[in-house]
Structure 1
């Protein structure tokens, strides 16, 4: 028998209660952490200064960052836009006038000697950041509602509760990690959280599909045996998927530059957490709510009276 055809026999459900208690404690701790410490919101949410400059030749972003840091800018975001000669610089909010900020930026970049041209400078107020925060929160809420309805109609409402709980857990654990290490939270990080929700839900649906199939076929097995069998049958597939995803995210983290750093970090943490939650939280809650074979049986056709 080939290695990849072998199905492991791990008793995951033996630790389901421990897993749920640990997850509950971590969730409460993360909520308190976010309430008192919060997140390191980037310029996209707090407002700031947007500066567009053009170089006469291709420039390395690390070189631009070094010039800005030497001038005292510690929370700058530097990225290309259009070509490798056009650079977009995002700076924290400033009380200086447009002329003062532009002068400082050009001096920091040694614009006269490098022949750098200032194309545009804009001030982004905190109101824009508040609007982005509100829309980001609404995007997460609508994503949770849509997934809950999808799982409920495809499987059963008890599965839906477990799936949404797992997604909320994954999002909170990722936010807690970002808060602890004070990683900047910007629009790319929000995009990573939304991508994580879809990724984690896919893992949950794969397990749910196998649970439903085995519940209907393994009629002599109890619910714990069915869930363990289903998880073991999908385990190798999940491991390969997670490893390949982490390889791509690692490449983004180490070679993608600062502009995608927080995106890669958020997804790397989320992928690891999703592995755990899809096993213990989504299925564990469904079992706790009393999922059974009868919940998944198709409705019996009503008897039709025969004509005389």
Structure 2
């Protein structure tokens, strides 16, 4: 019985021609990310901004968001963010940091409970002070920077110079586009988001290593094959594995997005986006970048059609 093949066995699809579209697309998204990041910034969550977060649910099953906002703003605790989420009358309230320290933050919680407890059930209450939020920002930034540096060092020593440079560019590309997801969609950026970014970096590394391992193997076997043919051949060889990995991971994350609940939904959404970006990057960014960097053997005489087909 023949096994089901996710990608044709003798495929000769020209992936390298896609760089004419992928490079301008990635450049446009990166520029838009930089502009919005500088002008508007990230939508930091309570982990980084500090303050008080409360999630309440209407006992009747239907929440009056306008009335909640008007009542909360009348407390006199500054600008309040009121947002409805879910489908069961769930509402989140975010109060800014109060000047009086922990006692002032506790007063915010008590005032909200006294006002809304008759009609709403309090599902979650979090209070983060300015000192804690500052430490979280510092620790999160250091963690991301050190992790990225470690990955870049690994890529530099894992591959030859040209492959290492292309891998580093692809990894940085995935980080920028992931940050772009937070910036453009205004998705809340918190400690869970940092965990998602680090996980996406690892997934990006995995996708790139698989393709470039095959590229290096073919470079040693076919030393006179032009760069574009060699890169197309390596991607076609690993495409079945790429499809299988991306599809199974995406299906798992889609289940978390749909049924995982509010606590994990944000992480799953970012990861689902990251899987798409990392797969796209390994095929349409990192590999074509080798053409411009100068893959060894790219200036050699073209291999006859029969030999290129025999490589598969």
User: Same fold by TM (over 0.5)?
Assistant: yes
Please classify the TM superposition score into its range, dividing by the shorter chain length: 0.7 to 0.9
* 1:1-308 equivalent positions in 2, closer than 5 A: 2-4=3-5, 6-49=9-52, 71-72=68-69, 74=81, 91-95=94-98, 97-98=104-105, 100-108=107-115, 110=117, 123-292=127-296
Aligned to 1:84: none
Secondary structure, aligned partner of 1:10: coil
Contact in 2 for aligned 1:163/1:282 (Cα 8 Å): yes
Give, in whole Å, the separation in 1 of the partners of 2:251 and 2:274. Answer: 14
Contact in 2 for aligned 1:204/1:278 (Cα 8 Å): yes
Contact in 2 for aligned 1:163/1:204 (Cα 8 Å): yes
Contact in 1 for aligned 2:29/2:180 (Cα 8 Å): no
Report deviation, 1:214.
1.0
Give, in whole Å, the separation in 2 of the partners of 1:130 and 1:263. Answer: 22
- The normalised TM-score by structure 2 is 0.75
Gaps of 5+ in 1: 52-59, 79-88, 295-308
Rate the CA distance shift 1:151–1:100 in 2: closer, same or farther, 3 A.
Answer: closer
Report deviation, 1:111.
6.9
Secondary structure, aligned partner of 1:49: strand
Contact in 2 for aligned 1:48/1:90 (Cα 8 Å): no
127-136 or 94-103, larger mean C-alpha shift = 94-103
Contact in 2 for aligned 1:77/1:259 (Cα 8 Å): no
Contact in 1 for aligned 2:235/2:283 (Cα 8 Å): yes
- The normalised TM-score by structure 1 is 0.76
Give, in whole Å, the separation in 1 of the partners of 2:250 and 2:281. Answer: 17
Aligned to 1:86: none
CA RMSD of aligned residues (A): 3.4
Give, in whole Å, the separation in 2 of the partners of 1:257 and 1:165. Answer: 35
255-264 or 11-20, larger mean C-alpha shift = 11-20
Report deviation, 1:46.
0.2
Gaps of 5+ in 2: 70-79, 86-91, 299-312
Report deviation, 1:2.
4.0
Report deviation, 1:34.
1.1
Q: Residue deviations 1:27-52, cap 9 Å, x none?
A: 1221112111211110000001367x
Rate the CA distance shift 1:257–1:61 in 2: closer, same or farther, 3 A.
Answer: farther
Runs of 4+ in 1 over 6 A off after TM superposition: 64-68, 111-114
